[in-house]
Amino acid sequence: MKALVIGGNGFIGTALVDRLVERGIEVRVFDRYPSRFKEPVAGVEYMIGDFANLGEVHQAVSGVAWVFHLAYTTLPETSNEDPVYDVRSNVIDTIQLLQECCENEVDKLVFVSSGGTVYGVPQCVPIKENHPTNPICSYGITKLTIEKYLALFHHLKHLEYSVARIANPYGERQNPNAKQGAIGVFLGRIARSQPITIYGDGSVVRDFLYIDDAAEALIACADYVAAPDGPRLFNIGSGVGYSLNEIVDTIKKVVDVDVKVNHIPARQVDVPSNVLDIDLARTALKWEPKVDLETGIHKAWQWIKSLSLV
């Protein structure tokens, strides 16, 4: 049994690869760059290539049973700057991937969607999978569009798939210099003795999920055998909401240094609250998160400290 992880050298991908290898599953990683934070894993086949290159994707998909699609070229915040690029590089290239998966008769494609953006401003929390979807960023629209194409390919060509609408993952190998990922960015700034910057008053509530729990959920999505009209789309979060102020309070408990906070104006792209209802994942996937916030932040902090940031 072989699994392909597209985007396998990124934050979520490297955690997923470790979990797959632990289970004795053969792994091929396809990514345009090597991992910044992790040495190659023994026994894993690494292919450097671009998801936009059909020939390379064709080679990558050949001979695999599971495909995990994690590569994405945009972020919620940046996607609105160039929606045309967002659609071209994510939607169109993913449709090409779906065609390759059908031709190669893969058993299951797992797509990492976004629990934080596809719903838009929630009408109620926690948010169930059948909540209306009205994204307020292009990224959310392209994730949702890909979900619809997956359903179409299933309907027309019987491609088996699962969608993981992931909340806000955090933990080891979350890039502290990135434009998203509050916990990783906060810890990175603290490690450099810099103040944390919060958009708005810190009351924004998010659902933070420890990275290994996220990786386990993706494997559960691949393992899951759906009934013909059964669910194929799952919220993957902790099911618990924390405001950014509560995150900072938890960080203060964990780190052994002084934490300073600056507030700057709120961003248009941020919905006020997002907490996922994960009952469907609990029952159908037999998965649930295991790592609580304080433990997860402690693990992330140990990793950030090991980077010797200046």
Tell me how far apart the 2 most distant CA atoms of the chain are, in Å. Answer: 57
Smallest separation (angstroms) from ligand NAD to the CB of 198: 17
For 144-165, b/e burial (b = at least 16 CB within 10 A) is bbbbebbeebbeeeebbbbbbb
Which residue from 208, 217, 264 is spatially nearest to 241, judged by alpha carbons?
A: 208
Which helix (H) or strand (E) element contains residue 236?
strand 233-236
Smallest separation (angstroms) from ligand NAD to the CB of 183: 10
# binding residues, ligand NAD (CB under 6 A): 23
Q: Report the residue number, 96 or 243, with the smaller CB distance to ligand NAD.
A: 96
Binding mask 19-38 for ligand NAD (x = CB under 6 A): ------------xxx-----
**Sequence-ordered alpha helix ranges (H) in 124-191:** 138-157, 182-191
Binding mask 178-197 for ligand NAD (x = CB under 6 A): --xx----------------
Instruction: Check if the beta carbon of residue 115 is closer than 8 Å to that of residue 236.
Output: yes
Q: Report the residue number, 155 or 173, with the smaller CB distance to ligand NAD.
A: 173
Q: Report the residue number, 70 or 244, with the smaller CB distance to ligand NAD.
A: 70
Q: Report the residue number, 35 or 250, with the smaller CB distance to ligand NAD.
A: 35
- Under the binding rule (CB under 6 A), the answer on residue 77 touching ligand NAD is no
Smallest separation (angstroms) from ligand NAD to the CB of 252: 22
Count Cα neighbours of 299 within 13 Å in the Cβ-side half-sphere. 14
Residue 70 corresponds to which tokens in the numbers above?
């994690």
Question: Which residues neighbour 84 within 8 Å (Cβ) at sequence distance 6 or greater?
Answer: none
Torsion of CA 32, 36, 42, 43, to 10 degrees: -20
Smallest separation (angstroms) from ligand NAD to the CB of 35: 7
Task: Name residue, tokens 């450099």.
Answer: 192
Question: What's the CA angle centered on 129, arms 52 and 123, to 5 degrees?
Answer: 110
Smallest separation (angstroms) from ligand NAD to the CB of 278: 14
Site for ligand NAD in 57-76 (CB under 6 A): 70-73
Q: Report the residue number, 10 or 135, with the smaller CB distance to ligand NAD.
A: 10
Binding mask 87-116 for ligand NAD (x = CB under 6 A): -------------------------x-x--
Smallest separation (angstroms) from ligand NAD to the CB of 114: 4
Which residue from 208, 216, 223 is spatially nearest to 275, judged by alpha carbons?
A: 208
Instruction: Check if the beta carbon of residue 27 is closer than 8 Å to that of residue 21.
Output: yes
* Catalytic residue annotation: 139
Site for ligand NAD in 130-169 (CB under 6 A): 166, 168-169
Residue of the chain from 41, 44, 47, 52 that contacts ligand NAD (CB under 6 A):
52
Residue of the chain from 9, 94, 235, 274 that contacts ligand NAD (CB under 6 A):
9
Whole-angstrom distance, CA of residue 7 vs CA of residue 117: 20
Residue of the chain from 51, 68, 119, 224 that contacts ligand NAD (CB under 6 A):
51
Whole-angstrom distance, CA of residue 222 vs CA of residue 214: 13
Site for ligand NAD in 238-267 (CB under 6 A): none
The secondary structure of residue 38, as a DSSP letter, is -
Instruction: Check if the beta carbon of residue 293 is closer than 8 Å to that of residue 237.
Output: no
Which residue ranges make up the site for ligand NAD (CB under 6 A)? 7, 9-13, 31-33, 50-52, 70-73, 112, 114, 166, 168-169, 180-181
